[in-house]
Chains A and B, each alone.
Chain A
Amino acid sequence: MAFAGFMFYIFAAITVACGVMVITSRNPVHSVLYLILAFFNAAGLFVLIGAEFLAMILVVVYVGAVAVLFLFVVMMLDVNFVALRKGVKKYVYIGATLGGVLFVELALAATSWTLGPDVATLTLGPVAGEVHNTRAIGQVIYTDYIYLFQGAGMILLVAMLGAIVLTLRSRPGVKKQVIADQVNRSSKDEVTVVKVPTGSGV
């Protein structure tokens, strides 16, 4: 246990330090890289509490896909970040308020398990430790809450369609490769063998 506690403090300290670096580093690419490191350490914390499935999904989805696209976009941004930082003082109060609310909510969620005696009875899913957590998550998402899950999927689909509709534009006169057409061409239709008499051309 002592070792697990030690690892917890290492992961937690690195996560917090990375979080600080995300908002303080001057270079936005460095910010994203620190964010990735923070994700990674959060995955480590998940492993420590025995939620290895969530840890791996966090790495696959956030580090492996979402953050790659972040990095992709941020690397190609051509914004003067010094100018952007000028108005930072205006947003400090809003940011601090949001952060404060979030912190209080997290603290409430974390402490209510021990302070409120009847909170534990509210859980619907299987209790961790009794079943393999991959199966537990599958049970909760795909069996108990299947309609909500499908609803969330629909919302994401609509969002995706919206993004496509907004960016899709039809440009006339652009040649596109149609592979089926290319494959379906036969030499009989396209090639004619001509006998060329000397001196007269085709």
Chain B
Amino acid sequence: MAELFDGIWWSGYVWPTILTVLLIVAIMVPILIAVAYLTLAERKVIGWMQLRKGPNVVGPFGLLQPLADGLKLMLKETVIPSGANPVLFLIAPMLTFILALIAWAVIPFDEGWVLADINVGVLYLFAISSLGVYGIIIAGWASNSKYAFLGALRSAAQMVSYEVSIGFVIVTVLICVGSLNLSDIVRAQAGGGFWNWYFLPLLPMFVVFVISALAETNRAPFDLPEAEAELVSGYNVEYSAMAFALFFLGEYANMILMSGMTTVLFLGGWLPPFDIAPFTWVPGPIWFALKIAFVLFIFLWVRATFPRYRYDQLMRLGWKVFLPLSLFWVIATAGFLVAFDLLPNAAN
């Protein structure tokens, strides 16, 4: 019994567990706050773009609005429709929310600031983001409602389609980096300023990635799964109170995640835009957050600017434009790197 409590037990199992839980909390709390304030930012930004003020009543500049919304949703009743499949109906929003959060385990916030520095970080992110469709499709089926089901089917087809081009974009970046580790991807963009980041040499891929990220997160102009004009609210039409809130938070957490992915793959992660004094004083996580905020602003800007795509146009864009373009670019990049002997020589 005594051995159980000596060094190995404590330093091998208990202490790492406590440390990991603390780290997870340290990552989750800022993300949840960011999700809450992203909803406010969205309403404010779109308000300004439409020459309105946005929420400005609750708290100074409407800053307490997300808390008020959260409180309201928590106090409401979670209605489970009588025809619904109750277990799956409740699992779906949890799944969406959990998947949006666990992906953050591999995102590097700064040199060495990463919860799980795994070799296949990019694949993990890709795998998790491809699972996001399940929350929506299960919700649509379990609701036992036609609107919800149509929304779910649209979403499934859309997310599977755009994942293909996202995959090719990721492959292009990987060819340039020579590693699947996210920290290595950021390090490969170091040395110099923003002109070393991959968004410039791989500009078409950057554009494809951002547009595919919009489709992957079901954001405007690709928000057909919840097209309120034709499907009421799509897959989440039967959800109320916290179950709805989880979908809502999941969607916004996914937006932040895709922005984080864009930042890591194309915008140099934690690196400063210029490698000279005043910029290098700012800590890496702040640059990382600023870049995420910039990409998120693009998400909101697009929503305020473009009308919703028609479904066949969405499919055409995914399969007939992005897929050939990204496939071509993978081959072109690989050919260029081989021809000029620039292929990265990864450690092992």
Q: Name B121's closest neighbour in chain A (CB-CB).
A: A56
Asked if B64 lies at the interface with its beta carbon under 8 angstroms from chain A, I say no
- Contact (Cβ within 8 A) B127 A134: no
Stretch among A16-24, A57-65, A90-98, A145-153 lining the B interface? A57-65
Supposing A29-B141, A59-B131, A65-B130 touch, asked if A134 and B120 sit within 8 A by C-beta, the answer is yes
> When chains A and B are docked, how far (Å) is the Cα of A149 from the Cα of B157?
28
Asked if A12 lies at the interface with its beta carbon under 8 angstroms from chain B, I say no
> When chains A and B are docked, how far (Å) is the Cα of A65 from the Cα of B127?
10
Binary B-proximity of A22-46 (CB < 8 A = 1, otherwise 0): 0000000100010010000000000
Asked if B35 lies at the interface with its beta carbon under 8 angstroms from chain A, I say no
Cβ contacts under 8 Å, B153 to chain A? 72, 75-76
Supposing A52-B118, A68-B133 touch, asked if A135 and B348 sit within 8 A by C-beta, the answer is yes
A60, A72, A132, A177: the one within 8 Å of B119 (CB): A132
B107 CB, min distance to chain A CBs, angstroms: 16
Cβ contacts under 8 Å, B118 to chain A? 52
- Contact (Cβ within 8 A) A68 B137: yes
> When chains A and B are docked, how far (Å) is the Cα of A146 from the Cα of B78?
55
Q: Main SS of chain B's interface residues?
A: helix
Asked if B82 lies at the interface with its beta carbon under 8 angstroms from chain A, I say no
B127, B149, B160: the one within 8 Å of A68 (CB): B160
Which chain B residues numbered 108 to 124 have a C-beta less than 8 Å away from chain A? 118-120, 123-124
- Contact (Cβ within 8 A) B348 A72: no
Asked if A131 lies at the interface with its beta carbon under 8 angstroms from chain B, I say yes
Interface size class of A (residues with CB under 8 A): 20 to 34
- Contact (Cβ within 8 A) A68 B156: yes
Q: Name A29's closest neighbour in chain B (CB-CB).
A: B141
- Contact (Cβ within 8 A) B180 A71: no
B13, B149, B316, B348: the one within 8 Å of A179 (CB): B316
Supposing A36-B134, A64-B130, A179-B316 touch, asked if A69 and B123 sit within 8 A by C-beta, the answer is no
B160, B312, B346, B348: the one within 8 Å of A69 (CB): B160
Supposing A29-B141, A132-B348, A134-B119 touch, asked if A56 and B124 sit within 8 A by C-beta, the answer is yes
- Contact (Cβ within 8 A) A68 B120: no
A3, A29, A53, A76: the one within 8 Å of B123 (CB): A53
- Contact (Cβ within 8 A) B134 A68: yes
Asked if B194 lies at the interface with its beta carbon under 8 angstroms from chain A, I say no
- Contact (Cβ within 8 A) A64 B127: yes
A148 CB, min distance to chain B CBs, angstroms: 21
> When chains A and B are docked, how far (Å) is the Cα of A64 from the Cα of B313?
23
Asked if B138 lies at the interface with its beta carbon under 8 angstroms from chain A, I say yes
Q: Name A135's closest neighbour in chain B (CB-CB).
A: B348
Binary B-proximity of A109-134 (CB < 8 A = 1, otherwise 0): 00000000000000000000001101
Which chain B residues numbered 84 to 142 have a C-beta less than 8 Å away from chain A? 88, 118-120, 123-124, 126-127, 130-131, 133-134, 137-138, 141
Supposing A60-B127, A135-B348 touch, asked if A72 and B156 sit within 8 A by C-beta, the answer is yes
- Contact (Cβ within 8 A) B348 A64: no
- Contact (Cβ within 8 A) B180 A134: yes
> When chains A and B are docked, how far (Å) is the Cα of A134 from the Cα of B348?
10
> When chains A and B are docked, how far (Å) is the Cα of A65 from the Cα of B316?
19
Asked if B163 lies at the interface with its beta carbon under 8 angstroms from chain A, I say yes
Cβ contacts under 8 Å, B138 to chain A? 33
> When chains A and B are docked, how far (Å) is the Cα of A63 from the Cα of B160?
11
> When chains A and B are docked, how far (Å) is the Cα of A132 from the Cα of B120?
10
- Contact (Cβ within 8 A) A60 B126: yes
A152 CB, min distance to chain B CBs, angstroms: 18
Q: Name B137's closest neighbour in chain A (CB-CB).
A: A71
Cβ contacts under 8 Å, A36 to chain B? 134
A35 CB, min distance to chain B CBs, angstroms: 12
Cβ contacts under 8 Å, B149 to chain A? 75
Cβ contacts under 8 Å, B119 to chain A? 52-53, 132, 134
Q: Name A56's closest neighbour in chain B (CB-CB).
A: B123
A157 CB, min distance to chain B CBs, angstroms: 14
Q: Taking beta carbons and an 8 Å cutoff, which residues of B are in contact with A?
A: 13, 88, 118-120, 123-124, 126-127, 130-131, 133-134, 137-138, 141, 149, 153, 156-157, 159-160, 163, 167, 180, 312-313, 316, 346, 348
27 interchain pairs, CB-CB under 8 A: A3-B13, A29-B141, A33-B88, A33-B138, A53-B123, A53-B180, A64-B126, A64-B127, A64-B131, A65-B130, A68-B133, A68-B134, A68-B159, A71-B134, A71-B137, A71-B141, A72-B153, A72-B156, A72-B157, A75-B137, A75-B149, A76-B153, A131-B348, A132-B119, A132-B348, A134-B180, A179-B316
Known: A56-B127, A60-B130, A72-B156; 13 extra A-B contacts, CB below 8 A, are A3-B13, A53-B180, A56-B120, A56-B124, A60-B126, A60-B127, A63-B130, A68-B137, A69-B160, A72-B137, A72-B153, A75-B153, A177-B313
